[in-house]
Structure 1
Amino acid sequence: MLSEEQEAELTKLARSKRTSVRLSQRARIVLLAAQGVQNKDIAEQLGIGRVQVSRWRERYVEAGLEGIERDLPRGAPPLKVDVQKLVELTTQSKPQAATHWSTRKMAAELGVSASTVMRHWQANGLKPHIVRGFKVSRDPKFVEKLEDIVGLYMSPPEHALVLCCDEKSQVQALDRTQPGLPLKKGRAQTMTHDYKRHGTTTLFAALNVLDGQVIGQCQPRHTHAEWLKFLRQIDRQTPKGKTLHLIADNYATHKHPAVQEWLAKHARFNMHFTPTSASWMNMVERFFRDISENRLRRGVFTSVPKLVSAIDEYVAHHNTNPKPFIWTKSARDILQKVIRANSRLSSKQNGTLH
């Protein structure tokens, strides 16, 4: 039974265009009930469930208008997450029989959902699934070698050539066990994951810092004998009046006594060695990355001669329109970055020990 005041209030809510659709519907339920309409008829008329009609009638009887204005609680109450414990577990522990936490493992550990774990990881900048590699050089002459090589890149000497030299060893001639399908609209190129090995070759390369030209040579091995053979090729293919500054890593074959003896007889060759564990200073590595990405990784080679032919073709094509790699970082900038990396690494190691 409704008073005139209650009926007017509910009618206003049911007809109002400003109130929410839910509240308007609940007001109509109560009004129809006051007219003696049964629950099933109200449900059919409003297109809702009979249980829903009964619930809001009871809510109005118990609390009046306030009872239908408040929404009923939905689902289980949200679990409170101990964020400090979550961060501590993520950064200072490992799950059993695993190397790192996943959202599901952490969710099972804390009794929450995986999406909750992910949300708090993102809020705290935690990415347990990612590991970043690093290598810090411990060469006692790091600064001296750094300044020497960067100086050659940024202020090359006059009447001289600066060549970045290295070998890309164990380049495999890989053939696929089955022919793949070519790229077409709506379908990516296919290639079997397994392969047949047909041998290997080693690519020796010297990158001219000035113009980006590459002197390349493929050989079956990479001992000091092959290195000497490559040095002789460099000697033949470079202008005789030019002094040569060769940048290379600390591989033992580059410092073999036979190599040292040959270099002593060829005074225009000047060797500059990168610091230990700092091959990234050698710009020929950029060329190796390009040839791997553009020609070797997805290539199919049924023999070593065909692999060598493909490499020679790539080097020749590169030399038709070479583009030099431009070195932009000064020795001071690099040194400051290395110092910061060492400092962070030392502080983390000390924190782990404590």
Structure 2
Amino acid sequence: MTNPAPALVVSDGQRAALEVLSKSQTASHREVQRAQVLLMAAEGLANESIAKVAGTSPGTVRSWRARFAEDGLSHLGEVRAGRGRKPVIPQSKIDEIVDLTRNSRPEGQTHWSVRTMAAKVGVSPAQVQRIWAARGLKPHLVDTFKLSNDPRFEEKLIDVVGLYLNPPEKAIVLCMDEKSSVQALDRTQPSLPMKKGRAETMTHDYKRNGTTTLFAALDVATGKVIGSCLPKHRHEEFLVFLKTINKEVPQGLDVHLILDNYATHKHPDVKAWLANNPRFQLHFTPTSSSWLNLVERWFRELTDKALRRGAFHSVPDLIHKIEEYLAAHNTEPKPLVWTATADSILKKVARGRVALETIKQN
């Protein structure tokens, strides 16, 4: 048996670069694989062991080690002349595809597809797809966003995030909101059950049987939800729900309620009730910042798991299903952990504002 090769000598800077590359989502598979191999070699693992873990041959591991020892990181992503498959598309064509993808649109359309791009530049759709995948380009996808114009954005953000990361003692932090106009939708024909080779089916059309409004308050510490279905979405119903929270939360605990800027939350009758119940303290999220309220994530789960595919013959039937989901959730609640700091969010928002201003100027 041959002796294992000595550990590959890697500097701290090289190790950091290799670790980034080994976890990359945009680099080619070959580059990621090579970075992983070199990191294992730096740990002193035998070439045969590295080859098994990385899914390559011991000869390839030895070749990559030797080249790194000779050239370092300078030629890590290159293929040596005369080795491997030759590029089918010239670099100029790749650059053209990337530039068109980022800076133009096909005539009469909102975005490029692999087929429209392939027809435009004269390559195959598969080649376009490989170029996009290697660079993380996804023109068929769009992320939505909205930057808040609230003049007190920073103040409100710091207040709410502070409650998430450093909740006060002898208090409960509740994220509260209303899911208004939840429709009791019934299908016009019975659904067909799932069977081998076919998913469950349901008709696309439906009939409306009325609506309800779900008031919900999520306990940040435990994940438990206090919920109540009420007929409308007015300050009267909000007061009813505040009284429900008052009954549910043990006396002796302050109640910090995170909620949005809806007018019913600031009604004079609500303010009068709060004055008589000083343990309640309201914390308002910035306008256009529903993402800051954790109960919105619970609403999404409710919709996905209990409402979207349901068939409800009446409003009482809908309310029963919501209460059933609520009870099941509260048997094994799990807290929704917030990790982002106010500072990191403010920096991201600042970058977004700069990007928007640049687009406006252009």
- Aligned residue type for 2:256: H
Q: Where do residues 1-354 of structure 1 align in structure 2 (5 Å cutoff)?
A: 82-347=93-358, 349=359, 353-354=361-362
Encode CA deviations 1:76-102: one digit per residue, 9 max, x unaligned: xx8877444433333333222221122
**Structure 1 regions of 5+ residues with no counterpart?**
1-77
Q: Which has the larger radius of gyration?
A: 1
Q: Where does residue 37 of structure 1 map in the other structure?
A: none
- More displaced 10-residue stretch of structure 1: 128-137 or 324-333: 324-333
Distance in 2 of aligned mates of 1:163 and 1:298: 29
Measured in 1, the distance between the counterparts of 2:301 and 2:129 equals: 37
Gaps of 5+ in 2: 1-87
Instruction: Report the secondary structure of 2:261's partner residue.
Output: coil
Aligned length: 274
SS in 2 for 1:263: helix
Cα-to-partner distance string for 1:319-345 (whole Å, 9 max, x where unaligned): 222222222222223323333333344
User: Superposition RMSD on alpha carbons, in Å?
Assistant: 2.2
Letter in 2 for 1:94: R
Match in the other structure for 1:3: none
Task: Please list the CA deviations of residues 125-165 of structure 1 after superposition, one character each: whole Å capped at 9, or x if unmatched.
Answer: 43221111112222222222122112212222122221111
Q: Secondary structure at the match of 1:192?
A: coil
Deviation at 1:111, TM superposition (A): 4.1
Measured in 2, the distance between the counterparts of 1:166 and 1:129 equals 33
Give secondary structure in 1 for the equivalent of 2:238. helix
Structure 1: which 4+ aligned runs deviate by more than 4 Å?
A: 78-81
For 2:97 and 2:172, the matched residues in 1 are separated by 57
1:11 match: none
Shift of 1:124: 4.3
TM normalised by structure 2 equals 0.69
Measure the CA separation in 2 of the matches of 1:278 and 1:340: 17
The separation in 1 between residues aligned to 2:325 and 2:101, in whole angstroms, is 47
Distance in 1 between residues matched to 2:143 and 2:128, nearest whole Å? 22
The separation in 2 between residues aligned to 1:84 and 1:101, in whole angstroms, is 16
Q: Deviations over 1:209-247 (max 9, x none)?
A: 222221111112112221112112112222232221111
Identical positions, percent: 58
- Write the letter of the residue equivalent to 1:211: T
Alignment-mate amino acid for residue 275 of structure 1: P
**Could you give the per-residue CA deviations for residues 29-77 of structure 1, whole angstroms, max 9, x where no partner exists?**
xxxxxxxxxxxxxxxxxxxxxxxxxxxxxxxxxxxxxxxxxxxxxxxxx
